[in-house]
Amino acid sequence: MAPLPRRLVPLRDSATLLLLPSLVAASSQSQFRLREIHAHLLVSGRLASPSHHADFVASLASSSHLSYARLLLPQRPATLLAHNGLLRALARGPCPGLAFAAFRELPLAPDHYSFTFLVRAATSLAAAASATPVPTDVAVNLLAGSVHAAAFQHGHATDPHVQSGAVSMYAAVGDVGAVRAAFAEIVSPDVVCVTAMLGALSAGGDVDTARELFDGMPQRDHVAWNAMLTGYVRVGRSREALGLFDEMQKAGVAVSEVTLVSVLTACAQMGALERGMWVHSYVCSRGMRVSVTLGTALVDMYSKCGVVTMSMEVFETMRERNIYTWTSALSGLAMNGMGEECLELFKRMESAGMEPNGVTFVAVLRGCSVAGLVEEGRACFDSMKDKHKVEPWLEHYGCMVDLYGRAGRLDDAVDFINSMPVEPHEGVWGALLNASRIHNNVDLGKHAMHKLTEIESKNDAAHVLLSNIYAESHNWKGVSKVRNMMKSKGVKKMPGCSAIEVDGKVHEFFVGSKSHPRYKDIQTMLAEMSHRLRLQGYAANTKEVLFDIEEEEKEGAISLHSEKLALAFGLITLPEDTVIRIVKNLRVCKDCHDYTKLISKVFDREIVMRDRNRFHHFKHGACSCRDYW
């Protein structure tokens, strides 16, 4: 056993106590060593001071000697200083819940410091609860309220530190109403408090109020910037998120992993590949460690931008992977139409001993669906409960209906729905409705639509799908009936929007949009595209146009669909050897799908389009979806 450092003996009290945390930490594996240190401090008189005794207790509690710390407390007259030291250490430690047991054992009335540490412990518990799938949020919420109520009871709720801590605590819990109430009580909130309020508003989806608060902050640290950035990403306002990141860089704010993960998520939402690749290059050029979180964000970004090769390259080079990494890779393969590869990766995951969760199975079932692997998908679904003890969600049932439906096994899809142990939701009936469209089964489509509108009467996509089913069977009365139904219910078809990234800037086009600065050039290109396609025998498919107008007008309306505008812009701005990448907010219609296939052939361009359901990789006149989407 190594002796105590000789230089410890002549040091002054204050200098000796500065060494306490490191000395105690060094003795974490040896009770004998700890007793040596304790004896030395007693003999030298360095624990005579109540503050020094409190520091020693806190050092013990911060290490692995909690029981030893509790033994020391009764050996001296009770002081709030010592007990608060214990509370502080426990609140900051790996098991903050222990602080509440220590609080209940307080032999003296708590002061504002006691509640500051207790609030911190509740905040840590809430943060831990939000990072786990176990539903503990209700319990933590009640705990937070109890802590705040106790602070009021003892007259310390108006202490500035307790007030600021309460805002952070309620923000961690996710109780925006309580955050607002606690924040309103503070006369002069500090930057930590304002940042907590900002984070709570962002997490609650009120990003506009959060931005007002953010803009009014005289000082902003990196935490405030990241809270605002994360808020934009959480509500899907990715364009504003990337704009804020630009501001952040101009302001010279340090970029952290949290920042980069948020930016990558925004890029994934928008399909902004160039921006996402810039982030990847930034990470590599600065020699940053690619953690599991950052690596998973890169995998997700490349997948959602349609670059599966890069997604899998990042995945394969990651030294450490968790379930989220595997699931992101599986989802990427599935959404890009690589079902067989998705199933193979799932087998690899099982062999690696990684246990799948519910989200993992959604990805695998979708992969089986796009590849038409019906039996494999059914086996995967059955293994959820039998092998992996995962209870199927409604989303899994919807995937199975989609699996049977896409394969043309509509009777099996109906039988599966009828055998479900839970009431089918809109995803299940929506999958059956889409299968009815693919295989032109009008009666089944009407049945699915009836069930769907019972649950969600104003689902615009469902009405459009049913109209398409009628149109494919030339049932124009049915089309008219759907149109009138939409009018009577006040259902409006969501306007189509397509985005394309050129030179790092994302350009958005809406159906019929004429506001783009290069609209005349786009019109010229559209005319050339139509001319060259007509030479190939192309005729616009106007069946999916809901409006009661002449055929020529329908053709004009369908020619201005947002993806065609984006495609024309891509053809006039991107080099010939560059893949044209488009992201659309709705399902691509049949005409635009056929149109894009022909464009890829006639113009000899590779085109990748992401719609609301999946990716379409167009090349040489064919699509990766095999015309089933």
Higher pLDDT, 344 or 496: 344
- pLDDT tens digit string along 411-434? 999 999 999 999 998 889 999 998
CATH 1.10.3470 fits 6-200, yes or no: no
Helix or strand (DSSP H, E) at 507:
strand 505-510
Tally of CB atoms within 10 A around 34? 20
Following DSSP, what letter does each residue of 498-557 receive, concatenated? EEEEETTEEEEEETT---STTHHHHHHHHHHHHHHHHTTT-----TT--S---HHHHHHH
User: Which segment of 23-27, 307-311, 479-483, 499-503 scores lowest on mean pLDDT?
Assistant: 23-27
Task: Give the CA distances from residue 236 to residues 213, 231, 262, 388, 616, in Å, rounded to whole numbers and listed in that order.
Answer: 20, 9, 11, 33, 22
Place of tokens 């679904």: 381
Contact, 479 vs 467, CB < 8 A? yes
498 DSSP 8-state letter: E
Tally of CB atoms within 10 A around 483? 15
Counting every residue written for the chain, the total comes to 629
- How distant is the alpha carbon of residue 441 from its chain centre? 37
Query: Is a pLDDT exceeding 90 seen at residue 596?
Result: yes
Tally of CB atoms within 10 A around 127? 16
Helix (H, G, I), strand (E, B) or coil at 619: strand
Helix (H, G, I), strand (E, B) or coil at 506: strand
Contact, 56 vs 86, CB < 8 A? no
As a whole number, mean pLDDT of residues 531-536 equals 91
Q: Report which of 543, 546, 553 is spatially closest to residue 592, judged by C-alpha positions.
A: 543
pLDDT band, very low/low/confident/very high, at 312 (cuts 50, 70, 90): very high
pLDDT of residue 36: 62
Q: Report which of 167, 158, 202, 165 is spatially closest to residue 87, judged by C-alpha positions.
A: 165
Residues 514 and 257: their CA atoms lie apart, in Å, by: 40
Query: Is a pLDDT exceeding 50 seen at residue 25?
Result: no
The pairing of strands 580-584 and 607-610 is parallel
pLDDT band, very low/low/confident/very high, at 471 (cuts 50, 70, 90): confident
Q: Nearest-5° angle of CA 133, CA 137, CA 138?
A: 135
pLDDT of residue 115: 94
User: Which segment of 274-288, 439-453, 575-589 scores lowest on mean pLDDT?
Assistant: 439-453
Query: Is a pLDDT exceeding 70 seen at residue 467?
Result: yes
Q: Report which of 571, 590, 584 is spatially closest to residue 532, judged by C-alpha positions.
A: 571
The pairing of strands 607-610 and 615-619 is antiparallel
Phi, psi of 296 (to 5 degrees): -65, -40
Residues 525 and 527: their CA atoms lie apart, in Å, by: 5
pLDDT band, very low/low/confident/very high, at 131 (cuts 50, 70, 90): low
Contact, 117 vs 61, CB < 8 A? no
pLDDT of residue 67: 62
Residues 135 and 155: their CA atoms lie apart, in Å, by: 32
Residues 571 and 112: their CA atoms lie apart, in Å, by: 66
Query: Is a pLDDT exceeding 70 seen at residue 174?
Result: yes
As a whole number, mean pLDDT of residues 200-219 equals 88
As a whole number, mean pLDDT of residues 39-51 equals 62
Q: Nearest-5° angle of CA 144, CA 147, CA 148?
A: 90
Q: Report which of 295, 218, 243 is spatially closest to residue 228, judged by C-alpha positions.
A: 243
pLDDT of residue 487: 81
Radius of gyration of the chain (CA): 31
Helix (H, G, I), strand (E, B) or coil at 582: strand
Phi, psi of 619 (to 5 degrees): -160, 130
Contact, 604 vs 553, CB < 8 A? no
Which range of 129-143, 207-221, 448-462 scores highest in mean pLDDT? It is 207-221
User: Which segment of 33-42, 100-109, 333-342, 584-593 scores lowest on mean pLDDT?
Assistant: 33-42
Domain ranges of the chain: 6-200, 497-623
Residues 224 and 230: their CA atoms lie apart, in Å, by: 10
Q: Report which of 345, 351, 414, 425 is spatially closest to residue 392, judged by C-alpha positions.
A: 425
Tally of CB atoms within 10 A around 490? 8
| Residue 508, beta-bridge partner list | 499
Residues 46 and 14: their CA atoms lie apart, in Å, by: 9
Q: Report which of 347, 308, 348 is spatially closest to residue 328, judged by C-alpha positions.
A: 308
As a whole number, mean pLDDT of residues 304-311 equals 96
The pairing of strands 622-623 and 607-610 is unpaired
Residues 1 and 4: their CA atoms lie apart, in Å, by: 9
As a whole number, mean pLDDT of residues 469-491 equals 79
Following DSSP, what letter does each residue of 459-485 receive, concatenated? -HHHHHHHHHHHHHTT-HHHHHHHHHH
75 DSSP 8-state letter: G
Contact, 126 vs 173, CB < 8 A? yes
Alpha-helical regions (H) of 105-187 = 112-130, 137-153, 160-173, 176-184
Residues 176 and 209: their CA atoms lie apart, in Å, by: 12
Q: Nearest-5° angle of CA 424, CA 387, CA 363?
A: 55
pLDDT of residue 554: 45
- pLDDT tens digit string along 215-229? 998 888 898 999 999
Residues 212 and 303: their CA atoms lie apart, in Å, by: 34
Two tokens, residue 16: 């000796």
- How distant is the alpha carbon of residue 456 from its chain centre? 25
Helix (H, G, I), strand (E, B) or coil at 97: coil
pLDDT of residue 75: 62
Q: Nearest-5° angle of CA 85, CA 91, CA 94?
A: 120
Mean pLDDT of the chain: 84
Helix (H, G, I), strand (E, B) or coil at 229: helix
Q: Nearest-5° angle of CA 98, CA 99, CA 100?
A: 90
Q: How many secondary structure helices (H) and strands (E) does the chain include?
A: 33, 6
Q: Report which of 565, 559, 552 is spatially closest to residue 513, judged by C-alpha positions.
A: 565
Q: Global pTM? A: 0.77
Handedness of CA 417, 420, 426, 430 (dihedral sign): negative
